[in-house]
Structure 1
Amino acid sequence: MTDDLPVLQLHHPTDNRFALRFISDDRKARSEKAAQLAEQSDIEIATTDESIGGETIYLLYTRTLFDAAYPEFQTEEAVIEWFDTEFSADDKQILFAVIDIFDGILSEKEEQGASLATYKKMDLEKIPEVLNRVEWRQLVPDVGAELLSGFILAHPMPNTNHRTGIGLLDRYLTSYEADFTMPDTGEEGRWYQWAREFIYDSKQVLTLRNQLPLLRWAREYGYEHAERKEGIRIDLTEVDVERDDYRNYYAQRHLSRSRRFVETVLTEADATHLLNKRDDGKRAFVDRLRGGE
């Protein structure tokens, strides 16, 4: 009955750098929203129209323009000064680990003859916020889940946030046991099945957390499915689009899903003894990172 209904595209059909920002059955309302957004110099706009049940739906997509995805410094001294000014010594140690993980992903892409598309600036300043929200000194899988989930929800990197987050989880678990080996997860677009389930679930939950108000309007206009990049589809008939506490609700769902993923990682890596090990604090983690240099 619903196969002939359009699927709401959460990224522009001809350029997935543009994400859905506004939806209405009123053309004038979209024009007014576009005019409002056009006042921002760092916003680029794209539009498209669709017909549902004989009614035209007006969609507006945006992307944020930026000069460079990565912080630019004239000298090495300027880099050091910025890090020393912005971050504590402990946070810097974890930041250096994140940057090293991300650089490894870039190098891997280059070796494969591929380039890494960037869609936003790198926001390293978000990472200390993630670290401060982690409740340390609980079971290792709980800390690992909070690190992973918090990192993905913050989305601080210009791309590959899931891979980088999993890399940070790897560093955390390896800090407890040098022989720990993260099971191969595959990579963006070619995830292995055991990891793909988490990645796709994670991206669905991220979408619901970030865009539920838009999806509420989409459901009202007759859309029953929404689709984001990678062909990940959300059945809107199974979503409570009227939920008021959606950001906290989906953050908790993401954390729970991340906890199950950490358990899967430890099982796949034959390291289930870490399931019941208690974390010994952020400072101890930093010290282990520093000692592993």
Structure 2
Amino acid sequence: MTTRVVQQHHPDDINYSLEDVSTDPDAFEDKLSDPTADVKVMDYPLPDGDVRVLYTPGVSGTADDLDREISPAQLEEDLEPMDPTSRVIAIWLLQFFTEMQQEEQENGSELAIYKNLEIKRVPEAINHVSWNGSATDVAGSLMSNLILRHSLPNANHRTGITMAQTYLEAAGANFETPKTHTEEYEWREWVDPYIIESKRLLTVRRHNLYFLTLKRIGCETVRRKHDIEIPLDDYDLDMHYHEAWEKYAELHEAHCIEFAEELATRGGVGNLVQEPALSEEGFIDFLRTENSSSETE
């Protein structure tokens, strides 16, 4: 029976995600016959032809596994060469991750991980942040670029959203919204669509050419884990990989700025949509104070 839906994550194990696509019926046989290759393959009968999809695993485990694998000395070695702005933000990220880990433990569970800690990527993210424009422009730019570089092993969107909120607070906002650590918060109904579209943009950014192949043989939807559907007709796929990488990064930043504007408006500080941005130096001073407070608690 034909289908018009292809899974981004393997239906039997969501730790395996789409890595390659081929219309060759014998594709990936070398990997399947290699006992050292950890892969899964699925065949999809699409309306205009069959396609094979290769799935490969990501990192799995818990944050406690990271604690055993990464020493404080290694973290300090990673932080030492960073510029002052990146270093302060990296320390904030690590403290935020620790807070989430502690909260999960208090709730009787462990914080799962699905990628390696890549704190070295923070300078790359910060180098792409624009500190000009309005306060919400910068909040959205920070949020987007931290999400795009994904330096933490989990909670990518929670981290980005909380960074946007923290910047708005530094810029003068005085509102109480949840830090999105847990599921119990009133604003989930309006926040979730932003997170879902962000995940769609990130996935298309990585896989535009694979998705173009799928679309050309009749696939209408790629379905991510947690039933997030990506309607292929809604996205421009027909471009070079490098062009898509840049285009969808720009679209993602615009999307996050829109989120920051709604966050400010809903928080009663809609003036920050027009107010000039807080300077990089001013924000880093604010974060230094937050970092120091966290260390003394």
Give the TM-score taking structure 2 as reference length. 0.85
SS at match of 2:45: strand
- Give 1:1-80 correspondences, 5 Å limit: 5-32=3-30, 34=31, 44-53=38-47, 55-64=49-58, 69=66, 72-74=69-71, 76=72, 78-79=73-74
Distance 1:188 1:243, change over 3 A: farther
Residue identity matched to 1:195: V
Given that residues 136 and 282 in structure 1 are in contact (C-alpha distance below 8 angstroms), is that contact kept between their aligned partners in structure 2? Answer: yes
> Which residue in the other structure is 1:147 paired with?
142
C-alpha distance in 2, partners of 1:71/1:142? Answer: 38
- Give 1:212-231 correspondences, 5 Å limit: 212-231=208-227
* CA deviation after TM superposition for structure 1 residue 108, in Å: 2.2
Please identify, of 195-204 and 56-65, the stretch whose mean Cα deviation from structure 2 is larger.
56-65
Residue identity matched to 1:156: S
Correspondence 1:90 to 2:85 = yes
- Give 1:87-166 correspondences, 5 Å limit: 87-166=82-161
Gaps of 5+ in 2: 293-297
Given that residues 22 and 51 in structure 2 are in contact (C-alpha distance below 8 angstroms), is that contact kept between their aligned partners in structure 1? Answer: yes
Residue identity matched to 1:166: I
Please identify, of 263-272 and 80-89, the stretch whose mean Cα deviation from structure 2 is larger.
80-89
* CA deviation after TM superposition for structure 1 residue 84, in Å: 5.0
Given that residues 44 and 64 in structure 1 are in contact (C-alpha distance below 8 angstroms), is that contact kept between their aligned partners in structure 2? Answer: no
The alignment of Structure 1 onto Structure 2 pairs a total of residues equal to: 285
Residue identity matched to 2:262: T
Residue identity matched to 2:266: E
C-alpha distance in 1, partners of 2:54/2:18? Answer: 6
SS at match of 2:26: helix
C-alpha distance in 2, partners of 1:44/1:179? Answer: 50
Deviations 1:194-229 (A, max 9, x none): 101100110111111111111011112221111001
> Which residue in the other structure is 1:198 paired with?
194
> Which residue in the other structure is 1:266 paired with?
264
Distance 1:20 1:219, change over 3 A: same
Residue identity matched to 1:44: D
Question: Percent identity among equivalent residues?
Answer: 28
C-alpha distance in 2, partners of 1:66/1:11? Answer: 14
Deviations 1:78-134 (A, max 9, x none): 257414533233322211111122222222222222322211101111111111211
> Which residue in the other structure is 1:284 paired with?
282
C-alpha distance in 1, partners of 2:183/2:115? Answer: 17
Residue identity matched to 1:50: Y
Correspondence 1:209 to 2:205 = yes
* CA deviation after TM superposition for structure 1 residue 167, in Å: 1.4
Residue of 167, 170, 191 corresponding to 1:172: 167
Gaps of 5+ in 1: none
> Which residue in the other structure is 2:295 paired with?
none
* CA deviation after TM superposition for structure 1 residue 63, in Å: 1.6
C-alpha distance in 1, partners of 2:289/2:113? Answer: 33
Deviations 1:43-89 (A, max 9, x none): 63111222234954222100245895468455x5x257414533233
